[in-house]
């Protein structure tokens, strides 16, 4: 029973993660990630 509950949460989280990624892709959120990642992050390197 305990195992079943754990499995349900595990697969539920997996499904939620995939759903979130799909929604994010549809909203083109990856473009924002790309735009940030291809510029030197001044804060990260200690300048900004």
Residues forming contacts to other proteins in the complex (CB under 8 A) are 3, 6-7, 9-10, 13-14, 16-25, 27, 29-34, 36-38, 40-41, 43-48
DSSP-assigned letter for residue 40: -
Report the nearest approach of other proteins to the CB of residue 34 (Å).
4
CA distance 4 to 25: 31
Residue with structure tokens 């995939």?
A: 18
Report the nearest approach of other proteins to the CB of residue 2 (Å).
9
CA distance 41 to 28: 21
Report the nearest approach of other proteins to the CB of residue 11 (Å).
9
């Amino acid at each position: 029973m305990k195992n079943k509950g754990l499995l349900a949460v595990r697969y539920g989280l997996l499904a939620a993660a995939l759903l979130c990624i799909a929604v994010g892709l549809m909203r083109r959120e990856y473009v924002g990630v790309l735009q940030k990642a291809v510029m030197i992050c001044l804060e990260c390197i200690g300048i900004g």
